[in-house]
Amino acid sequence: MSKMKAAVFVEPGRIVLDSKPIPDVGSLDALMRVTTTTICGTDVHILKGEYPVRKGLPIGHEPDASVRVASQGLRPFLPVCGIMRRNLPTREPRNRVVQVRRFGGPEELGVVDAPLPTAGRGEARVRVLASSVEYTDVLIRRHLYPQTMHRRPPFVIGYDVVGEIDQLGDGVSGLQVGDRVADMTVVGSNAAYRTLRADRLTRVPAASTQRKRPR
C-alpha cells in the first residue's frame, strides 16, 4: 500500500510526523497532491484540543495542491487544487454556487444556479478564481462553528476567496476592474461570482498566483 508523510494529531499539545496510507477516493472526493498547506488559527485550536478532531488524524487545511484523481460525482465542477474551478468564458456569465442544503455530511452540499450579483455602493464583484475547502468549512457544514451558529440552511459555503474584480460599485477607490484580490469571508465564496466590501479586500501580487506549468 502506498504511503505518505503527514502531520498527525496525537493528543492536545502534540503532533508527530508519521507515515499514513494514501487515502482512497470516495464518491464525492478528489485525491490531491499537496504542495503547500497553512498553519493558522484553526490548527492552533485543534492542537489545544478545543476543536473536535479524532486522535490519529492528519491536521492541516487550506491546501495548495493538484488534483490527481477525481470521482465522477465531481465532474460537473471539477476542482483545481481542491478548490472551485477557474470559470470558463461563456456568452452569459453563470453563477453556480455550493450550497449547504441541510446541516450534516458532504451529501448535504449541492451545486445550484444562483442570480448573478451586482456590486452595490462600496462593493466589488469578484469573479472567483479559487475558494478553499478546509476544516472550518466542515465545521460550518456540521453546524459546529461558533461564528456561524446563527445561520440556517440553505446558504453558500466558502471560507476564503481569491478572485478578479469584474465590476465596481459607486464610491470605490483604490481598486480597478481586473485587480486580483483576496478576502477571508467565512461563508459565501464557493461560487463563480460574489460581491464583497471593497474596503476589506487585499490586493494579491500577480507573482504569488503564478504557477509553473509542467514540462
User: Which residue among 55, 82, 109 closes a domain?
Assistant: 82
pTM: 0.57
**Cβ–Cβ under 8 Å, residues 201 and 124:** yes
Is pLDDT above 70 for 204? yes
Residue 60 grid cell: 492541516
DSSP secondary structure letter of residue 149: T
For residue 59, name the pLDDT band (cuts at 50, 70, 90).
confident
Same domain, 130 and 205: yes
User: Which residue among 36, 52, 82 closes a domain?
Assistant: 82
State in Å, rounded, how far the first CA of the chain is from the last one: 29
Residues 101-145 have pLDDT tens digits of 999 999 999 999 999 999 999 999 999 999 988 899 999 999 999
Q: Look up the domain containing 64 and give its range.
A: 1-82
The total of other beta-carbon atoms located within 10 Å of residue 128's CB is: 23
Same domain, 93 and 69: no
**Helix (H), strand (E) at residue 139:** helix 135-141
Same domain, 13 and 26: yes
Same domain, 90 and 188: yes
Same domain, 107 and 192: yes
How many domains, in total, are found in the chain?
2
pLDDT value, residue 165: 95
User: Which residue among 82, 108, 130 closes a domain?
Assistant: 82
For residue 208, name the pLDDT band (cuts at 50, 70, 90).
low
Same domain, 78 and 88: no
Q: Mean pLDDT throughout 65-83?
A: 56
Same domain, 124 and 212: yes
Same domain, 71 and 99: no
Q: Mean pLDDT throughout 149-166?
A: 95
Same domain, 5 and 103: no
pLDDT value, residue 36: 74
Q: What Cα–Cα distance (Å) separates residue 4 from each residue in 15, 105, 113, 137?
A: 16, 26, 38, 24
Percent of the chain with pLDDT over 90: 49
pLDDT value, residue 83: 38
Q: 163, exposed or middle or buried, with CB in 10 Å at 0-12, 13-18, 19+?
A: buried
For residue 207, name the pLDDT band (cuts at 50, 70, 90).
low
**Cβ–Cβ under 8 Å, residues 82 and 60:** no
Q: Mean pLDDT throughout 201-209?
A: 77
Same domain, 74 and 164: no
pLDDT value, residue 79: 42
Is pLDDT above 80 for 98? yes
Is pLDDT above 90 for 44? no
Same domain, 57 and 142: no
Same domain, 77 and 115: no
Is pLDDT above 60 for 211? no
Q: Mean pLDDT throughout 136-164?
A: 95
